[in-house]
Amino acid sequence: MILSPPMLKSAISISSLALILSLAGCATAPGDNLAAPPTAAGAAARPNQPAVLPPPPPFYAEATPIDMGQNGSKPVSFERAIVTMEAGTPIGKVTGGWLHVTFRSLRANPGDADKACVQVGREELRKAHYSTPDASNALFGEHQMEKIRYQLGADITFLQMDLHVQPGWIKATLTSKGTISVTWQVFDTRADKVVFTLKTTTSYQDQSTSDGGVNPELGMFRKAFRELLAQKEFAAFMSPDSPEPVGNVGKLPVIKVAPGTAVPSLALPDGFGQVLDSFITLEPGQVLGSAFLISPDGYALTAAHVVSGLKTVPARLHSGIVLDAEVVRINDESDVALIKLPGSSFKALAPAAPGEPPIGSDVFVVGNPRMKELNASVSKGVVSGNRLISGHKYLQTDAAANPGSSGGPVLDRKGTILGVISWKFAGAELQGLAFAVPLGDALSSLNVELNPAQ
């Protein structure tokens, strides 16, 4: 029996026709690019001629992704998949029945591919242990995708897919077979350009029944994504440039730094003009972080999650000068990191007197509430408590600590350092719950000593 068009529609309950057409693209505005803005260098150009069938791989075996292991990768997110085939290019056909009667031809429609392809890519990155954070940080309320330095995109330059529906007594069988070519691009948000390009061509074949099975569109794209993750050059490029991690601090050499000098006459808030010269705005990606100088030699403290996975990070001084700071040492467990700016004779903050600050005493927090225009914002509060949470000491304050304040200093009225802002509880019913790592604990967890003789 040969399926008529109405029977064909009912037999393919997984909506294969619509999905294949969506993979071929949805109409978008002209000039859409892949992972980079239209002005980014290195972006792949759209072909002006119909695609030519590339030679398919000789077999349909699936590549095995290279696992990045416990060290993860450079911070990366999969943001977009587009089709750059010429509109109307034939990409396949749908046939049915024992005589393989053609019911419909499939043609390309340039633009964004199905959004489910993006989800497939993110799933595969997580499975291979790439460092691709979740959509949000429940503790600090920051949108993690915006912090990712590297964005991966897929440019589908060729697609061919034939579908055949074979009726049965109980259910129909769908056979899908085709080839997909993808140009993969990695966009560096800091450098504002495409920094890595790789092309893969993948053959695909699958058979499923009308009551379920592998979605041909997503199955083909998933296999192509795994082909990318199996390439040694991609894994090598995405390997993390990690600074020296801190596990057992006793095994690491002590870093001795000269501390900042306290100014006897300094009193806040009047003296903030001097304090802000020691504040640093970090730009690890599309969002901001905070840091502060603890030594005239350029050493500074920040939160580990601000610079995690980075070897260097742009550091903007209050004067507007931008320097590339080296990430020297990280302690993820304590959420503190030591960075170093090139040069010397910096204005550094002085440490507060040893011991826990009195509960109820005034404190000031300096940070970046999301926008560059609001950098070095100051908030005032009190010491709400000196806490021990999960084995770690924290200074609790009700001073406002917004997203972007991570790594900023908590100061007393003398302008000396009490701690490093780490996290806060965020929620409609929670107010005034920000936590900082006490300065002494931050230094010891990094095996750093403030030595006036240095």
Domain ranges in the chain?
Answer: 5-238, 244-450
Please tell me the number of Cα atoms within 13 Å of 395 on its side-chain side. Answer: 33
Return the pLDDT at 308. 81
- Tokens 């499923």 appear where? 208
- Tokens 């069938």 appear where? 53
Looking at per-residue confidence, does 2 or 353 come out higher?
353
Statement: residue 323 has pLDDT above 90: yes
Q: Which residues, at least 6 apart from 228, have a Cβ–Cβ distance to it below 8 Å?
A: 182, 184, 198, 200, 234
Statement: residue 328 has pLDDT above 70: yes
Residue 424 identity: K
Statement: residue 349 has pLDDT above 70: yes
Statement: residue 83 has pLDDT above 60: yes
Q: Domain 244-450, what architecture?
A: Beta Barrel (2.40)
Name the residue among 154, 146, 145, 141 with its Cα closest to residue 114: 154
pLDDT-derived band of residue 40, with 50, 70 and 90 as boundaries? very low
pLDDT-derived band of residue 114, with 50, 70 and 90 as boundaries? confident
Question: Measured between alpha carbons, how far is 16 from 23 in angstroms, rounded to an integer?
Answer: 10
Q: Rounded mean pLDDT of 19-47?
A: 37
Question: Measured between alpha carbons, how far is 105 from 430 in angstroms, rounded to an integer?
Answer: 57
Q: Classify 188 in phi/psi space as left (phi over 0), alpha (psi -120 to 50) or beta.
A: beta
Return the pLDDT at 16. 42
Looking at per-residue confidence, does 54 or 19 come out higher?
54
- The rounded mean pLDDT for the chain is 79
Statement: residue 188 has pLDDT above 90: no
Spell out where 97-149 has E strands. 101-107, 111-112
Q: Which residues, at least 6 apart from 223, have a Cβ–Cβ distance to it below 8 Å?
A: 62, 63, 202, 204
pLDDT > 90 in the chain, percent: 39
Return the pLDDT at 454. 55
Q: 71-85, 88-102, 233-247, 304-318: lowest mean pLDDT where? A: 233-247
Name the residue among 436, 185, 429 with its Cα closest to residue 334: 436
pLDDT-derived band of residue 293, with 50, 70 and 90 as boundaries? very high
Statement: residue 202 has pLDDT above 90: yes
Statement: residue 291 has pLDDT above 60: yes
Please tell me the number of Cα atoms within 13 Å of 230 on its side-chain side. Answer: 14
Name the residue among 448, 445, 447 with its Cα closest to residue 334: 445
Three-state DSSP class for 337? strand
- Tokens 């041909």 appear where? 216
Tell me: the pLDDT tens digits for 133-167? 654 343 343 444 445 778 899 999 999 999 998 88
The reported pTM is: 0.55
